[in-house]
Structure 1
Amino acid sequence: MPEDTPPLTKPRIVFEGVRKDFTVKDRTGIGQRARFTALDGIDLEIADGEFVVLVGPSGCGKSTLLELLGGLARPTGGRILLDGEPVTGPGLDRGIVFQQYALLPWRTAQGNVEFGLEATGVPRRQRAARAREFLDLVGLTGFEDRHPHELSGGMRQRVAIARSLAYDPAVLLMDEPFAALDAQTRESLQDELLRIWQRTGKTVVFITHGIDEAVYLGQRVAVMTSRPGRIKQIVPVALGPRTATDDLRSSPEFARHRHEIWSLLHDEVARAQQLEKEEASV
């Protein structure tokens, strides 16, 4: 089972001086195009089996960073290494879970989980068995034949997680997967995700706006600056096994980590809001 502080081994993921620029239409209305930098000088190493959470103000490039790691976009500068090899595109070694479930409405829960396995050529009988295995892993035994419209939001997200896990990626990338859920469901799925992570040993990179969620889930929390996004500070979170107490979120250690991350974010959020005002006035 992963520990709160991973051993210093060869990292599974390495960001080296990663920069990402975008070209956008200039607001002056004269047809010119402008460039802005979303990410600049990102350096970060993530160990095998580690759970790392990224937090930062809106527009700081968190999702862009995840897209680069997922191979959905290419960096303007620097490089990203996965197991020592440059990331040049999407791959089955990475599973992605977004805020929106992106389930196929005409397929059952089992059919949605099988979908990714079909693309990799897994035989039909093995697909069915593996889909049931991972639906059981996320607590959906008995719901295999339900369609997405017959499932709650939390259940749909469980299906999405099962689908991403079924083809056994080494790395799980999660972009605010619980943001649209009510507080009680969100906390329940946080516990479920920790249980799955502890059982599978996957490397998880998780994006959230919630400081409490970051502290509860992460072994380390990488706090990002306002745009252009940089790593401001990495906060190790030492809370012991997350299942050791029924009220971990009320513990003094939890409050201390939460305050530290809030303090780091406070000025960055203010800067981001000021930048938005300046851009809106142009």
Structure 2
Amino acid sequence: MIGVRNITKTFPARSGPELTALENISLDIAAGEFVTLVGPSGCGKSTLLDLIAGLTEPTSGELTIGGHPITGPGLDRGVVFQQYALFPWRTAQANIEFGLEVKGVPRRLRAERAREMLALVGLTAFAHSYPHELSGGMRQRVAIARSLAYEPAVLLMDEPYAALDAQTRESLQEDLLAIWKRTGTTVLFITHSIEEAVYLGQRVAVMTARPGRIKRVVDIDLPDSGAGDPRSEPEFVRYRRDIWELLHDEVRAGV
């Protein structure tokens, strides 16, 4: 579903040589797959997401969605940022309807779809609330619902839970996995948290310090823990340790 082929991204510098943010990155993400991306600060994680979102262009290489070249933003991709990016003058339902308006969906169908998405993220009772009346976790649920409302093939998430408290963060992680299993949307999720990456991802792509490269992609195969928390399982601890070992030198290099 997502094809990243030999992508390099450079930025001009005020003085001296240009800055290389990403260098020769390649990554394939299959349809319906949930992939998490971790790396040290400044390694180009958000730059890569912006490229896939079509918000900026690569210096070299090829980007595709469903086999088609990415030439700019499109409704085949939903994006959720760390900042909630909701319209403060719109209610939760009206925020969710926004993408459907852009897509030209009739008003009645927009409202029906928005109500379905509110139910999906557990906010039916807050349909007519404005962003300032919602908690941070609720606002992020609205942002996710808005991105999913027009049924994008891909959901791109840039550290969406970084500003939330630990309890809300864990609750939203569980909610996101449930939504992903119900919708089958392809997800690329950026995080600084190794634990979050292992908990959410079917695969974890580990990036090097700048210039960002893919150091390794780790397959995550956790046993079904039933009603228990997989984060307490020995396999989970092993994956977290292995990924930290991959990141350790990169974090030191980026300081």
Task: Give yes or no for TM over 0.5.
Answer: yes
Q: What is the identity, as a one-letter code, of the residue corresponding to 2:189?
A: F
User: What is aligned with 1:247?
Assistant: 229
User: What is aligned with 1:20?
Assistant: 9
How far 1:14 sits from its partner (Å)?
A: 1.1
User: What is aligned with 2:249?
Assistant: 267
SS in 1 for 2:170: helix
Counterparts of 1:45 and 1:213 in 2: how far apart (Å)? 21
Counterparts of 1:263 and 1:244 in 2: how far apart (Å)? 29
SS in 1 for 2:206: strand
Counterparts of 2:226 and 2:9 in 1: how far apart (Å)? 41
Query: How big is each residue's C-alpha offset from its partner over 1:212-257, in whole Å with a ceiling of 9 and x where there is no partner?
Result: 000000000000000000000000000145x733221111010010
Indicate whether 1:152 and 2:141 are aligned.
no
Which structure is larger by alpha-carbon Rg, 1 or 2?
1
How far 1:81 sits from its partner (Å)?
A: 1.3
User: What is aligned with 1:29?
Assistant: none
Counterparts of 2:27 and 2:14 in 1: how far apart (Å)? 31
User: What is aligned with 1:105?
Assistant: 88
User: What is aligned with 1:192?
Assistant: 175
User: What is aligned with 1:60?
Assistant: 43
Counterparts of 2:194 and 2:184 in 1: how far apart (Å)? 24
Match for residue 214 of structure 2 among 218, 223, 231: 231
How far 1:45 sits from its partner (Å)?
A: 0.7
How far 1:86 sits from its partner (Å)?
A: 1.0
Number of equivalences: 255
Counterparts of 1:188 and 1:246 in 2: how far apart (Å)? 14
Q: What is the identity, as a one-letter code, of the residue corresponding to 2:172?
A: L
How far 1:115 sits from its partner (Å)?
A: 1.1
Unaligned runs of 5+ in 1: 1-11, 27-32, 274-282
SS in 1 for 2:87: coil
SS in 2 for 1:25: coil
How far 1:196 sits from its partner (Å)?
A: 0.2
SS in 2 for 1:95: strand
User: What is aligned with 1:212?
Assistant: 195
Counterparts of 1:225 and 1:39 in 2: how far apart (Å)? 10
Match for residue 64 of structure 2 among 81, 87, 90: 81
User: What is aligned with 1:256?
Assistant: 238
Task: Please report the TM-score for the alignment, with normalisation by the length of structure 2.
Answer: 0.98
Give 1:26-65 correspondences, 5 Å limit: 26=15, 34-65=17-48
User: What is aligned with 1:167?
Assistant: 150
Kindly report the root-mean-square deviation, in angstroms, between the aligned alpha carbons of the 2 structures: 0.9
Match for residue 104 of structure 2 among 111, 121, 133: 121
Which contiguous aligned blocks of 4+ residues in structure 1 show a shift greater than 6 angstroms?
A: none
Counterparts of 2:4 and 2:229 in 1: how far apart (Å)? 35
Query: How big is each residue's C-alpha offset from its partner over 1:160-218, in whole Å with a ceiling of 9 and x where there is no partner?
Result: 00000000000000000000000000000000000000000000000000000000000
Counterparts of 1:147 and 1:227 in 2: how far apart (Å)? 40
Query: How big is each residue's C-alpha offset from its partner over 1:99-142, in whole Å with a ceiling of 9 and x where there is no partner?
Result: 00011111110010011111111100001000000011011011
Unaligned runs of 5+ in 2: none
SS in 1 for 2:199: helix
Counterparts of 2:181 and 2:229 in 1: how far apart (Å)? 19
Counterparts of 2:89 and 2:187 in 1: how far apart (Å)? 30
Query: How big is each residue's C-alpha offset from its partner over 1:51-93, in whole Å with a ceiling of 9 and x where there is no partner?
Result: 0000000000000000000000000011111111111111100
SS in 2 for 1:256: helix
